Amino acid sequence: MLSNACKYAIRSILYLAINSSEDNKIGVKIIAEELETPQPFLAKLLQQLTRDKLVSSTKGPNGGFYLDSKNRKNAIWDVIISIDGTSKFDNCFLGLAKCDDRNPCPVHFIVSPFKDKILSSFRDKTIDEYVVEIKNTNRVISLKDLDLFENEDS
């Protein structure tokens, strides 16, 4: 559904939302290590996001990427638009030319409610709100955070 590029970008934005500030800019190197993504490739993506004003950056020593308060008012959806475009969300799951309720493919009514949900999750919440939700519910973003509950079987 999403390209690798877009997945990296979303995870970067969330990472920056949680860990960065104007006083604490983070370099590509760190971000790439934390998210375990290819470094120069991620750099390209961050450049793209910066061009589209979804993240902020400064050069030089103590420079790096961060989110200012304006950036935090955007939605994940804006990241998807910037990197992947929206076509993958509009297209039919089985590749038919059109996807709508009146000419549904065999899985349309399974796929369609899911699309709506994920869409509203990405589009109707600001990054800020997203982060609050992530913190409240202990969601994982980077890879290194995995297996948080390794030894606490429920």
Partner DNA sequence: ATAAAAAAAGAGATTCTTGTCTTAAACTCG
Partner DNA sequence: CGAGTTTAAGACAAGAATCTCTTTTTTTAT
CB 68 within 8 A of CB 23: no
Distance CA 121, CA 80 (A): 12
Angle between helix 4-19 and helix 28-35 axes, rounded to 10 deg: 110
Rule CB under 8 A: say whether 44 interacts with a copy of itself. Answer: no
Of 14 and 16, which has the nearer Cβ to DNA?
16
Asked if 32 touches a copy of itself (CB under 8 A), the answer is no
Q: Is position 58 an interface residue for a copy of itself (rule: CB under 8 A)? A: no
Residue 11 within binding range of ligand FES, rule CB under 6 A: no
Binding mask 62-81 for a copy of itself (x = CB under 8 A): --------------------
Under 8 Å CB-to-CB from 103, ≥6 apart: which residues?
96
Q: Identify the residue among 1, 21, 24, 29 touching DNA (CB under 7 A).
A: 29
64 is a contact residue toward DNA (CB under 7 A): yes
Given a contact cutoff of 8 angstroms between Cβ atoms, the answer to whether 138 and 148 are in contact is yes
Q: Report d(CA 108, CA 129) in Å as an integer.
A: 30
Instruction: Please identify which residue in 16, 46, 75, 127 interacts with DNA, judged by CB under 7 A.
Output: 46
Query: Which listed option, ligand FES, DNA, a copy of itself, none, makes contact with residue 143 (CB within 5 to 8 Å by class)?
Result: a copy of itself
> Would you give the DSSP letter of residue 66?
E
32, 38 contact by CB (below 8 A): yes
Contact region with ligand FES (CB under 6 A), list: 1-9, 42-50, 103-111, 124-132: 103-111
